[in-house]
C-alpha cells in the first residue's frame, strides 16, 4: 500500500517582484500650482506619455485641461496656456498610443475632440481642435483608444451608447447599444478583438466590438462592479467593486464563463472607488483607492491562489486620480517597472511615484523588461474594421526606447453638416446641460442680438441716406429743366 505524504511547504512562491517598493519623486520633480478639477466624476482626469502630462483643470465656463512637458517639473505658472475649446466640463482625456502629440478629450457638451499638441508644449491657449466629433445625444463620460489599430477611438456617453469612431474619416462607424444604464468602464484585451464593460445596471459584459454582440454577461448581485480590466493574455478579467456589506472587493473572472467569479476577495471597509492597473509584462496588479493614499500590489498567476499579495505603498495624501506612464517612458536604468502620476487636489500637486525592483547590478535587466507593446500600430483603421486582428507591435526597452513614431496624424477635412428637423438645425442647437453652459449661451445670444441691432441701425442710417440722395436728385434744377425741355419737345 502506498502512502502519499502530505507536503507542508508554505504556499508562498519566490518572486522577483516581492520586494518592489514605491518611491515618491523629490519635491523638485513634482508638478505644483495646478488648479486640478473638483469634478466628482469617477475618472483619473490625468493622462501621461513620454512627452507630456495632461491634467483636467478647474475653469470658469467651459472645460479646460493643461498640457505640461514631462521634463518641465516644479511650480507651474498660473497663466500657463490651456486647451479650452469645450463648452462643458471635460470628463476624460487620453493620449493616442501611436502619436504622442495627439490627445482626445470628451465633455459634458456631448462632443469628443481630437487635439494636436506642438512639440515642446503650448505657447498659447488652444481653442481649435483638429477634429470635433458629434454623435452622442448626452454628455460623454469615457474615451478609449484601440490598443493596436491607429485611428480607432471608442467613446461612451450618458445616452448608454458606445460609438466607434474612424478618425481617418472623422465619422462614427458603429454604435454598440446593449447597455441599459451609464457605462462605468471599458477595457480591451491585448489585440483589441474583445471589449469588456462595467455598467451601472450591475452587469459585466464581454462584447465583440465590431458586431456589438454580447458574448458573455454576468449579473453581479453580490459584487457591484465598478471597474474592469483584462489581465493581458491570461483569458481572465479582474473587476473591482463593492460587496453587499459595502466593503471594497475584487473579483477574478474567466472570460469564457462569466457565470461565477473564480475568486472574490474583500480588500477593506473604505468607501472610495478602487482603480485597478495591470502590467502584463510583470503580471503585477496595482489597486489604488480613490480618496485614500494606498496602492496595493499583487502578482497574478494562472494557477491557485491566482493572486499573491506583495505589498502596499502608503501615503497620507489622498489621490483623486492617477496617470500611468507608458512602458517606453520608464527609467530602465533604475529598474523602474511602473510609474504613477498622482493627483493631490488640495495641494494642487502632481506627484510621480515610481515602482522599483531593487537590483544591485547596473546592467539592463532582461528578465523584468520583456518585449513590450511599442508606439507603432499593428493595423490601420480600415483593416481592423474589416475584421483583422493583430497583436501589438513589440519593442525592446534595451536601447533607444524613445524612438519617435514615424506616423503623421492627418485629420480628415469635414464639411459642416446640418440635421434639420422642423426648421431647427439640431447640431447647431444642442441644448445646454450645465448652468455655466446656459449662461454662456445666454451671453452669446445677447452679443448676437447687440450685433444684429447695430447692423439694423447701420442699415437704417444707410436707407435714410439713400432716400435723401434720391430726393436731392429729384429736386435738382438740372433734372427739372431737362424734364421741361422734354415736355416742350413732346408738345411740338
**pLDDT attached to residue 10:** 43
Give domain status of residue 271, yes or no: yes
In this structure, what is the dihedral angle of CA atoms 102, 106, 107, 112, given to the nearest 10 degrees? 90
With CA atoms as reference, report the closest residue to 101 among 44, 164, 143, 47: 47
What domain range includes position 314? Answer: 21-395
Give domain status of residue 244, yes or no: yes
**pLDDT attached to residue 399:** 73
3-state SS class at 329: helix
3-state SS class at 94: strand
Looking at the DSSP assignment, which residues form a beta bridge with residue 313? 295
Give domain status of residue 486, yes or no: no
What are the cell numbers at 129?
Answer: 481642435
Mean pLDDT in order along the chain per 10 residues (492 residues):
40 76 96 94 94 93 92 94 94 97 96 96 95 96 97 97 96 95 97 96 96 93 89 95 91 94 91 94 96 94 92 94 96 95 94 94 89 95 96 87 59 57 49 65 77 86 87 73 54 50
In the block, residue with C-alpha cell 502620476:
341
Give domain status of residue 481, yes or no: no
**pLDDT attached to residue 226:** 94
Give domain status of residue 401, yes or no: no
Integer-rounded Cα radius of gyration of the chain: 30
Cα distance from N-terminal residue to C-terminal residue, the chain = 152
Give domain status of residue 220, yes or no: yes
**pLDDT attached to residue 225:** 92
pTM reported for the whole predicted model: 0.81
Instruction: List, in order, residues 6 or more apart from 35 with CB less than 8 Å away.
Output: 57, 58, 59, 78, 348
Give domain status of residue 86, yes or no: yes
**pLDDT attached to residue 438:** 72
Q: What is the CATH number of the domain that holds 281?
A: 2.130.10.10
Strands 82-86 and 263-268: unpaired
With CA atoms as reference, report the closest residue to 95 among 107, 83, 87, 103: 103
**pLDDT attached to residue 404:** 53
In the 8-state DSSP scheme, what is residue 386?
Answer: T
**pLDDT attached to residue 420:** 46
Whether residue 313 contacts residue 292, with contact meaning beta carbons closer than 8 Å, is answered with: no
In the block, residue with C-alpha cell 470635433:
132
Structural domains of the chain, count: 1
What are the cell numbers at 138?
Answer: 448626452
Give how far Cα 207 sits from Cα of 162, 192, 215, 270, Å. 11, 11, 6, 31
With CA atoms as reference, report the closest residue to 181 among 163, 161, 196: 161
**pLDDT attached to residue 410:** 73
Give domain status of residue 449, yes or no: no
Amino acid at each position: 500500500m502506498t502512502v502519499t505524504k502530505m507536503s507542508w511547504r508554505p504556499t508562498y512562491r519566490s518572486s522577483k517582484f516581492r520586494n518592489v517598493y514605491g518611491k515618491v519623486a523629490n519635491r523638485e520633480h513634482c508638478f505644483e500650482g495646478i488648479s486640478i478639477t473638483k469634478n466628482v466624476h469617477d475618472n483619473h482626469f490625468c493622462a501621461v506619455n513620454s512627452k507630456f502630462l495632461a491634467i483636467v483643470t478647474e475653469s470658469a465656463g467651459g472645460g479646460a485641461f493643461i498640457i505640461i512637458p514631462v521634463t518641465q517639473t516644479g511650480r507651474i505658472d498660473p497663466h500657463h496656456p490651456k486647451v479650452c475649446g469645450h463648452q462643458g466640463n471635460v470628463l476624460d482625456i487620453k493620449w493616442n498610443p501611436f502619436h504622442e502629440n495627439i490627445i482626445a478629450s470628451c465633455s459634458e457638451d456631448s462632443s469628443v475632440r481630437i487635439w494636436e499638441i506642438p512639440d515642446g508644449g503650448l505657447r498659447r491657449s488652444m481653442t481649435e481642435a483638429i477634429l470635433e466629433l458629434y454623435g452622442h445625444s448626452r454628455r460623454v463620460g469615457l474615451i478609449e483608444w484601440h490598443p493596436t489599430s491607429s485611428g480607432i477611438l471608442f467613446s461612451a456617453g450618458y445616452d448608454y451608447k458606445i460609438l466607434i469612431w474612424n478618425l481617418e474619416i472623422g465619422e462614427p462607424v458603429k454604435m454598440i447599444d446593449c447597455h441599459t444604464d451609464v457605462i462605468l468602464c471599458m477595457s480591451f484585451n491585448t489585440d483589441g478583438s474583445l471589449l469588456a464593460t462595467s455598467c451601472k445596471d450591475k452587469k459585466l459584459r464581454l462584447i465583440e466590438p465590431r458586431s456589438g454582440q454580447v458574448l458573455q454577461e454576468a449579473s453581479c448581485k453580490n459584487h457591484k462592479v465598478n471597474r474592469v480590466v483584462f489581465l493581458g493574455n491570461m483569458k481572465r478579467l479582474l473587476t473591482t467593486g463593492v460587496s453587499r456589506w459595502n466593503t471594497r472587493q475584487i473579483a477574478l473572472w474567466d472570460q469564457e464563463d462569466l457565470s461565477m467569479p473564480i475568486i472574490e476577495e474583500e480588500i477593506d471597509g473604505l468607501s472610495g472607488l478602487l482603480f485597478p492597473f495591470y502590467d502584463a509584462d510583470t503580471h503585477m496588479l496595482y489597486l489604488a483607492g480613490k480618496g485614500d493614499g494606498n496602492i496595493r500590489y499583487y502578482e497574478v498567476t494562472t494557477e491557485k491562489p491566482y493572486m499573491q499579495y506583495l505589498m502596499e505603498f502608503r501615503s497620507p495624501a489622498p489621490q483623486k486620480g492617477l496617470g500611468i506612464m507608458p512602458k517606453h517612458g520608464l527609467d530602465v536604468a533604475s529598474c523602474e517597472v511602473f510609474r504613477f502620476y498622482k493627483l493631490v487636489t488640495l495641494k494642487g500637486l502632481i506627484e510621480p511615484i515610481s515602482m522599483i525592483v531593487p537590483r544591485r547590478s547596473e546592467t539592463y535587466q532582461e528578465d523584468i523588461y520583456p518585449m513590450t507593446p511599442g508606439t507603432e500600430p499593428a493595423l490601420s483603421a480600415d483593416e481592423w474594421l474589416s475584421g483583422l486582428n493583430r497583436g501589438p507591435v513589440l519593442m525592446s526597452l534595451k536601447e533607444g526606447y524613445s524612438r519617435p513614431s514615424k506616423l503623421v496624424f492627418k485629420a480628415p477635412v469635414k464639411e459642416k453638416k446640418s440635421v434639420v428637423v422642423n426648421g431647427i438645425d439640431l447640431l447647431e442647437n444642442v441644448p445646454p446641460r450645465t448652468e455655466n453652459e446656459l449662461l454662456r449661451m445666454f451671453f452669446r445670444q445677447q452679443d448676437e442680438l447687440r450685433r444684429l441691432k447695430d447692423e439694423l441701425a447701420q442699415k437704417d442710417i444707410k436707407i435714410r441716406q439713400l432716400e435723401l440722395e434720391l430726393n436731392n436728385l429729384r429736386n435738382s434744377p438740372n433734372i427739372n429743366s431737362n424734364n421741361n425741355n422734354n415736355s416742350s419737345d413732346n408738345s411740338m
